[in-house]
Amino acid sequence: MSRKALIAANWKMYKTPAEAKAFVDAFLQLVAGHTRDEIALFPSPVLLPTVIEAAKGSNVLVGCQNIHFAEEGAYTGETSVGQLKAVGGTHTLIGHSERRQYFAETDEIVNKKLHTALKHGLVPVVCVGEVLAEREAGKTADVLKTQVTGALAGITAEMAAPIVIAYEPVWAIGTGKTATPEMAVEAHRIIRAEVAKLLGPAVAAAIRILYGGSVKPDNATALIGQEEIDGALVGGASLKPDSFTAIIKY
Ligand code: PGA
């Protein structure tokens, strides 16, 4: 089963429009003609028009770090799927651990956002992962199963094709501590088995599961090179064109 890898940049709350434009201009030259993997950038909403315009016609996809589940409404500070699509965005992260941790996103909210994203034809990257205390207590598998089951509630096999899952152990995000390839593969297998249980073996075999958490140029090959790991969600190392490119060219 060959799944095309997706290497995605989560810029979090970094970069001005001028910095984002300078990144894309330099980056497009570095990844021109790279078709082995899909490449996506997830900037802050205020940067989306700049990044989408700069990446137009290239092999680089662009999406939002978060969307609201409502079509529109009185939700101060939020971004709707319609707004994202109107500026040309095609992808969205959902349920990143920082959203769960600092903005109280629950599995139920993640599920609502996933339904909205799919309804509007976006590619959703649903993030799951355990915190350190859960890993140390031997609860990683339970946490992953609960998060995957919660995210996929009401999703059918027919709806599932665009879905991407990102396994991001929270203790590895921004800490420089990466899961070993063995730990990542084990978690990915748990997630894929849960998808198989919920949506059937064909969906499970086709769904892409990315690894995220301190992915850097020097560990990218060991991680993404694993048959079970279908790409990466990269934070810190995605902020510079050269380091992100080095990961893409693992
Ligand atoms: P990191 O972030 O690569 O800086 O650990 C990953 C993420 O939060 O998606």
Name the closest-CA residue to atom 1, ligand 1.
235
pLDDT score at 248: 98
Lowest mean pLDDT among 176-180, 183-187, 206-210: 176-180
Q: Distance between CA 172 and CA 141 in Å, rounded?
A: 17
176 pLDDT higher than 90: no
Is 103 exposed, middle or buried (CB count within 10 Å of its CB: 0-12, 13-18, 19+)?
A: exposed
Q: 50 pLDDT band (50/70/90 cuts)?
A: very high
With respect to residue 161, please indicate whether it lies within any of the assigned structural domains. Answer: yes
228 pLDDT higher than 60: yes
The amino acid at 50 = T
With respect to residue 215, please indicate whether it lies within any of the assigned structural domains. Answer: yes
Number of domains in the chain: 1
Q: Distance between CA 113 and CA 220 in Å, rounded?
A: 30
What is the rounded average pLDDT of the residues 223-233? 97
pLDDT score at 1: 55
Name the closest-CA residue to atom 7, ligand 1.
235
Q: 2 pLDDT band (50/70/90 cuts)?
A: confident
With respect to residue 82, please indicate whether it lies within any of the assigned structural domains. Answer: yes
The ligand 1 atom nearest the CA atom of 12 = 8
pLDDT score at 73: 97
Cβ of 168 closer than 6 Å to ligand 1, yes or no, is yes
Q: Share the mean pLDDT of the chain.
A: 97
With respect to residue 1, please indicate whether it lies within any of the assigned structural domains. Answer: no
pLDDT score at 75: 98
Q: Distance between CA 216 and CA 81 in Å, rounded?
A: 31
Q: Tell me, yes or no, if 168 is annotated catalytic.
A: yes
Q: Which two tokens stand for residue 29?
A: 């030259």
pLDDT score at 110: 98
With respect to residue 13, please indicate whether it lies within any of the assigned structural domains. Answer: yes
Q: Tell me, yes or no, if 34 is annotated catalytic.
A: no
With respect to residue 165, please indicate whether it lies within any of the assigned structural domains. Answer: yes
Which domain, by its residues, includes 198? 6-248
Q: Where is 8: in which H helix or E strand?
A: strand 6-10
CATH number of the domain to which 227 belongs: 3.20.20.70
Name the closest-CA residue to atom 3, ligand 1.
235
Give the tens place of pLDDT for each residue, 67-121: 999 999 999 999 999 999 999 999 999 999 999 999 999 999 999 999 999 999 9
